[in-house]
Structure 1
Amino acid sequence: MSVIAPQDVSRSRWLQVGWAFMLLGAMLAAANAVLFMSIDAYGHPGIKSRFIATEIAGWMHTLGGAIAVVLGPWQFLSRVRVRWPRVHVWTGRMYLLAVLSGALGGLYFAPTSVGGNPGVIGFGILAVFWLYTGAQAYGSARRRDFVAHRRWMIRNYSLTFAAVTLRLELGLLQLGGLNFDVAFPIVAWSSWVLNWLVAEMWLRRK
């Protein structure tokens, strides 16, 4: 009879709590994105005017990102992968299609970012990395290299989760006294670079 160590139980509980907060943040960010595109007076007018002017690209980016950020946490549940592998496969395909939509929309809008040159470069690199890590995750799954697939999916979702950290960091910076024009170029980088570093630290530990 195997005995589960107390530290393993504690670690499992912390992982469950972290997963729940990740899903909650994802759902709030997704709702925010949909409201941004649906309600006229909701959101920053400078960003909104660009998204509404090219509504197809606007919905590609916001809806693609919203679907991806909500589907992502479910892909990391081992019980889903083990008990319902086809569910995992098909939701994974939906996730990557959503990433493709969101990243292409992001590439379209990056050159005209209201964050100036830092925003143009930061969001442009994010969109490219988002596409690249998604392609690597898909390719490794097709090769049945599931260890590499899992690692690339962790990297990819860390970039998807920028939808959450961007809104959180932007709010905190503005509460700290920075106006939007100063805060937005900062989060154009910090919202995804910090996520990426955390993902790489996690993978290194594993």
Structure 2
Amino acid sequence: MNKVVKSLIYISSALIGIYAFFAYAFLELGNAVHPSMKVNFNAHALGIYAHIFPSIVALILGPFQFNEKFRLNHIQVHRKLGKVYLLCVFLGGFSGLYMAQFSFGGMVSHVGFSLLAILWITSGFYAYSSIVRKKIQAHKNWMAVNFSLTFAAVTLRIGLGIGFAIGLPFELFYPYLAWLCWVPNLLVAFLIIKKDNTSLQII
């Protein structure tokens, strides 16, 4: 990716992470979301917090793990941050899978967010298992897939902004964001991997 795209990823990840932290840490939970979702969020506050805060850490740490200069010059820091990142992915993923069952928008949202959580957890597991087996390229590929799903936190909010900006009813467009926030990201990750002439190397 070129420098402009990389910079946008760093900036957007940091901004959304900071926004989410302050919104969920300092505002009443119901005020951090659309009015249509307040009752549901307040009814499952523990699940929301268990999902949001680990996910924020993963979102902010993720881009730094792809910085080649940082990785080569600070390999031990890279490894430690990688462990923290993946721990947050697993915590955020399992709590996200739980919360997907209560997501606003009915079955379309439930299935979309559930698949996102399952793929997030699964790709994190493969990223970890591949580096344990010293399969460096496979690890890089799986991390690209995994962070594309982490980045759904950003694309979800971009989608919300677009939906509100063009005047679509929240109840109409939100269920589809449960898919649109991660499927395009995942396709981009696969295109990047294909461009590098590599494979996921699951085994």
TM over 0.5: yes
What's the counterpart of residue 188 of structure 1?
178
Q: Displacement, 1:80?
A: 1.4
Provide, for residues 77-102 of structure 1, a one-character-per-residue CA deviation record: whole Å limited to 9, x for no partner. 11111111001100000100111111
Q: Displacement, 1:36?
A: 3.3
What's the counterpart of residue 50 of structure 2?
60
Q: 2:190 aligns with which of 191, 197, 200?
A: 200
C-alpha change, 1:46 and 1:173, in structure 2 (3 Å) is closer
Identity of aligned residues (%): 36
What's the counterpart of residue 134 of structure 1?
124
Q: Displacement, 1:30?
A: 1.1
Q: Displacement, 1:18?
A: 1.6
Gaps of 5+ in 2: 197-203
| Residue 25 (1) aligns with residue 15 (2) | no
Structure whose alpha-carbon radius of gyration is higher: 1
Equivalent residue letter for 2:53: L
What's the counterpart of residue 145 of structure 1?
135
Contact persistence 1:47–1:114 (CA under 8 A): yes
Name the CA distance, whole Å, in 1 between partners of 2:151 and 2:140. 16
Equivalent residue letter for 1:190: L
Q: Displacement, 1:54?
A: 3.2
Equivalent residue letter for 2:20: A
Name the CA distance, whole Å, in 2 between partners of 1:63 and 1:52. 16
Contact persistence 1:37–1:52 (CA under 8 A): no
C-alpha change, 1:59 and 1:159, in structure 2 (3 Å) is same
Provide, for residues 123-161 of structure 1, a one-character-per-residue CA deviation record: whole Å limited to 9, x for no partner. 000000000000000000100101000000000000000
TM-score by length of 2: 0.90
| Residue 178 (1) aligns with residue 168 (2) | yes
Equivalent residue letter for 2:67: L
Report which stretch shifted further, 166-175 or 43-52: 43-52
3-state DSSP of counterpart to 2:24: helix
| Residue 120 (1) aligns with residue 120 (2) | no
Alignment of 1:2-41 (within 5 A): 15-38=2-25, 39-40=27-28, 41=31
Equivalent residue letter for 1:22: I
Name the CA distance, whole Å, in 1 between partners of 2:86 and 2:78. 12
| Residue 95 (1) aligns with residue 85 (2) | yes
Gaps of 5+ in 1: 1-13
Aligned CA RMSD, in angstroms, stands at: 1.4
Equivalent residue letter for 2:148: S
